[in-house]
Structure formats: C-alpha cells, structure tokens
Chain A
C-alpha cells in the first residue's frame, strides 16, 4: 500500500473552531456577540480543591445521626431585623424581565420551602415574587427601575448592587424583544425598545458617598433591614474593606462565572476574576478589620453542588448564592427540549441566548405562551429538591471533617490539586505543606 501523501487536517489551538466562527460572525454582522450566562472558559475553581476529611487527628461526626447545623444569620451588624436562613444557599438576583413571571414565582416557591431567600433584579419587585418568597432581598440598582419606598419597606433586606461578576463595570441590557407591556410599565420605558441599565449609580460615586447612601436607606426603612453591598469580583480585598467602611451588613462578591441576562461575550470572558480568587482576599479584609462573621460574606458565581458550597464556607464565606444552577434546576437547558434548541441553532447544555426571549423552557422569556411551559409549582419543587441536596451535601462533607456546623469548616480542611489553586485559595498543594505565594519551598 502506498504511503499517504497528505497529513490529517490540523486545527489551530489559537484559531479554534469557535474562534473562527466568531470572527466570521463578527465580519458578517458588524456587532459584538451578546449572550447570557457567565464565563465559560476554564478557570481555577472549587473543583481544584479537595477536603481532607477526618483522620487520626480529626474526629468525624456520624452521618444522619449527629447534628450539623446549616443556618445562617445575615445582617446582624446594624439591622434591627436581621434575616435568619435555614441553609447558607441563597438565590441570587435575577430580574422579572430577564426571567418570566412563572420563573420568578418558581424561584420564590422553591426557596421558601427550604427556608432561604430570593432576590429581585433590575426592574423592580413583582407581587408574585413578594407573595411566594418568604424572605425577599430587594436590589437597589443604578437604573432604579421600579424603585419605591413601599417596596423597600416590604422587603426583608436591601442589596445595593455595585456590579456583578459577569460584567464588573458594565451596565445592564435587556433587548427590545423582551420589553413587554408589563416590563415596560415597571421600568417607565416605551414598550419594545432596548433597555439599558446604567453602569454607575446616579446619585453617588465612591465609598464616602456610599456610606451616606446606606445611611439614607437605613433612615427610610427605620434601620430595620439588613443592607448588602454586591460587587463583581475584581478587587475583592479593597471592595470588601470599603463596603465594610461604608456600613454594609453583608458583602456579596460575585465571580466571573456568575451569570447575566445579556452582555457582550467579550466582556463576560475577559473582565473580572474567578470566584475562587475572590474569596480569600475578601475574607482577609474582613479579618483585618475584625469584622469576619460580624459582616457576613456571600459568595456567588459557579456554585453547582454541595462541595462548592462547603468549599466556599471553608474558605471563610458565610453563605453562597446561586443563579445559573437555580435556572437549570427549574428546567433550563433540559435535554428533553433538544429539538427546540436545535431550531435555535444550539444544543441543550450550551443554550445561552437568554436575551432573545425565545427560551423553550419558558424561563428567560416574556412570551406568555413560552412562559406557560414552566409550571411554577413543579419548578419550585425541583428547585427545593436541588437546594436540599446542596445543603445535605455540604452537611455530609462538614460531618466528615468533624464539624457540628457548616460554618466550622476552615481552610485547614482543604488542599489544592493545582499550584494555581493552592496559591489562589491559600491552602497547601496536595501532598505537600506548600502554599505558593506564602511559603518558600
């Protein structure tokens, strides 16, 4: 047999298939790619950490027998009425507008079953989510869409949003096809136009102003409500310190894997830092100020299972928030809808055109017919199940490490699988005592 004269086609690692398709798409349209979700690139994450578990020197707790607490109190620093959640897993802010009313209702139903909170989003508070959420956090955003003192007072906590992990420094965007009559009315905008949310707050700039803004919100609500400050992970040490200085009860740090309703792909993938990289600097700031556990820290961005929850807590967080995982629990990217995803030019597991409002699962849409596909009771049940699993999994790990409360997990329970994760999480590289960046080796 004659030897082949040609080699196998060789694809470039630099110009891979996705990159080539993006160049071709940009050349054809002249506009950047917009999508929902968070960073999809591989970044150091909680997967790169392992728990050590009990051994001769550590005594485990009996699974299913010995108590392992999971509750968390948020807002104990200044608020007269801090909130008390049964699980440290909360639901992150997602707007009515980005999500259908049935999705918002399902989130409220699911969270309430397990005793945790949901969070509004850009666009104001709907009666559905207030009714179905036993504990509701009301976001205070630059756009102030739908903002009013009555909703502030009927919220259980207030979250001042400075930024989010998918786009630190970027404003919001809801394209015209999702601006239905109801969404438009809530945002005081004409129906069908692209809705831009500002990237900066209109009446304060900088930490000194933020302190006065927090004071105003406390005055309006008679110092009852816990006040969170949420930032996209970029400079977590300084942002945490400044939020504490400004008087926050709770600091929320959202890593780059945290989702958005719609943002430029280039922004999502190239601005901000991974969730894992944000935790230790934030905790360090709290510890240096003597505020760790006094000002609570919520971590979000790519939390998917109880191990992620336990690892975030072990690194010093008080709670976590989930967004994308909650939507998946409701039914987002369900393989049963594969043929419909195919019609949209994608596949189950990769669908992220949430801004187009064509979600076959009825979650990221304002089309009433599509929204009807999501049964809020069944969706809420699925979310409650998922939240229960996250809590049980975190408990299982905590017991294995000998902890009677998930908050007793600590960095000493962890090792890292990679040098990068060891340096970032400031725990030893597995099989060594080496913490890169801290120790010489």
Chain B
C-alpha cells in the first residue's frame, strides 16, 4: 500500500503520482498522513482507488474527483469534493463551506456538520450530511439530492432548480422558489437508498421532509419581481 507522508513529500508529488495511475493499477489502496490542512489534496483523481487521509484537510480536497473513494479522517476545509464527477468522498469530521459545490455526480458523506452553501449549484451529486448544514445551502442547486439528518440554516434551496432536499430536523427558512413537497413512493425509495449508502441505519423516512423547486422563477415574469 503506497503511504505518502506530506511532511516528506509535497501535495504536488502526491497528486502527480495519483494522476499517473493506470485504470487497471494494482495500487488501489493509499494512505496519506500529515495532511495538516494542506490544500487540494487528492484533487483531480481519476482512478478506481481508495485513499485514506489521516488528518484534517484544507480547501478543495478531492476536487473534481472521478471514480476514487476518498476518506478524510478529520475535518475538511472549503469546497471538499467540489465539482465531483463520480466516486465517494467521506468526511469523518465536519466540512467547511461549499461542500460538494457544483458536483456533477458521486456521493459525498459528511459525518459531522457542513457549513454554509453546502451543495451550492450542485449538478447531480448526492450529498448526505449526518449533522446540520449552514445558510444558503443548495443555492441554485440544479440536480442531485441533499440529505440532512440535522437542521438546515437560512434560505435553504434558494433559486433551486431540479435538485431535491431531504431534511430530518428543522429548517430555519426556505429561499426563493423553494417549497416543501409531498414525498412520493419513488422519493422515499431514493431517500432510503441514499441513507443505506451512507450507512445510516436509524433513518426513519417519516421523520424527513422533502423540498424542491416551485418552478415559479424558471422564466422571468415581472409579477414575480418581489421574489428576486
């Protein structure tokens, strides 16, 4: 198993080594130590490998990830798994703002809380936060699912498009054009599957409420001006 000590090697050397991996590499399990809040660790990986980062990470860890499963044994800074395409990113601690921002695919799991703008402009990623999320989360969220086991901050789902938000706790307030929607059978099935993938075993689906777009602002109309 390749072990990279970021006290001895640079993030640039780590990422270059990860980018060189062939699709059929045998080096499928990596461990990174002494991350110490460094930025862009594991950014741009495109290989079916598993990476364990033993410590806290800075900004943009696992940015644009494809295929890889990246587990952060600590807290994550701004923009963890930003623009992720596929794979799994698991933050065992808390995540700072813009977690999973603009992600196109894959699964982001945050065991703790996620700060403001979680899932901002998400485009297909699934995000599960086992704690609570901050203000303006899922702002302009286009596609994918955001599941929150705790509470959500102000202006949840402001200007949301076709993404779906499930919240088990309280929602401080909903943003423009975001409304609560009844959960259909297929919504419940989707939520159950997401909880299963995140290893949540105590998830009573009836405790969740679902939010999405009212689609009133999809085309500009002067009568909706107060919403902007």
- Across the interface, do B83 and A148 meet the contact criterion of CB distance under 8 Å? yes
Chain A residues within an 8 Å CB radius of B210: none
Q: Choose from B11, B78, B219 the contact partner of A176 (Cβ within 8 Å).
A: B219
> Any chain B CB within 8 A of the CB of A119?
no
Chain A positions 168 through 206: 1 when the CB is less than 8 Å from some CB of chain B, otherwise 0: 000000011000000000011110111010100011100
CB distance from A173 to the nearest CB of B (A): 9
Interface residues of B in 96-155 (CB under 8 A from A): 97-98, 101-102, 104, 117, 120-121, 123-124, 139-140, 142-143
Stretch of A82-90, A209-217, A277-285 on the interface side: A209-217
Interface residues of A in 211-228 (CB under 8 A from B): 212-213, 215-216, 219-223
Rounded to whole angstroms, the CA-CA distance of A193 and B58 in the bound complex is 37
- Across the interface, do A203 and B102 meet the contact criterion of CB distance under 8 Å? yes
> Any chain B CB within 8 A of the CB of A147?
yes
- Contact residues of A: prevailing secondary structure: loop
- Across the interface, do A219 and B83 meet the contact criterion of CB distance under 8 Å? no
> Any chain A CB within 8 A of the CB of B66?
yes
- Across the interface, do A202 and B64 meet the contact criterion of CB distance under 8 Å? no
> Any chain B CB within 8 A of the CB of A139?
no
Stretch of B24-32, B40-48, B179-187 on the interface side: B40-48
- Across the interface, do B78 and A188 meet the contact criterion of CB distance under 8 Å? no
Chain A residues within an 8 Å CB radius of B142: 187-189
Chain A positions 107 through 145: 1 when the CB is less than 8 Å from some CB of chain B, otherwise 0: 000000000000000000000000000000000000110
- Across the interface, do B162 and A203 meet the contact criterion of CB distance under 8 Å? no
List the 8 closest pairs (A to B, CB-CB), nearest first.
Answer: A220-B44, A203-B79, A203-B98, A193-B218, A144-B102, A216-B60, A149-B64, A216-B40
12 residue pairs bridging A and B, Cβ less than 8 Å apart: A147-B104, A148-B104, A175-B220, A176-B218, A190-B162, A194-B219, A203-B60, A216-B40, A216-B59, A219-B12, A219-B63, A222-B15
Can you name 20 extra interface pairs (CB under 8 A) apart from A149-B46, A203-B60, A203-B120? Answer: A176-B218, A187-B142, A188-B123, A190-B161, A190-B162, A196-B140, A196-B159, A202-B117, A203-B79, A203-B97, A203-B101, A204-B78, A209-B59, A209-B78, A212-B40, A216-B60, A219-B63, A220-B15, A220-B40, A220-B44
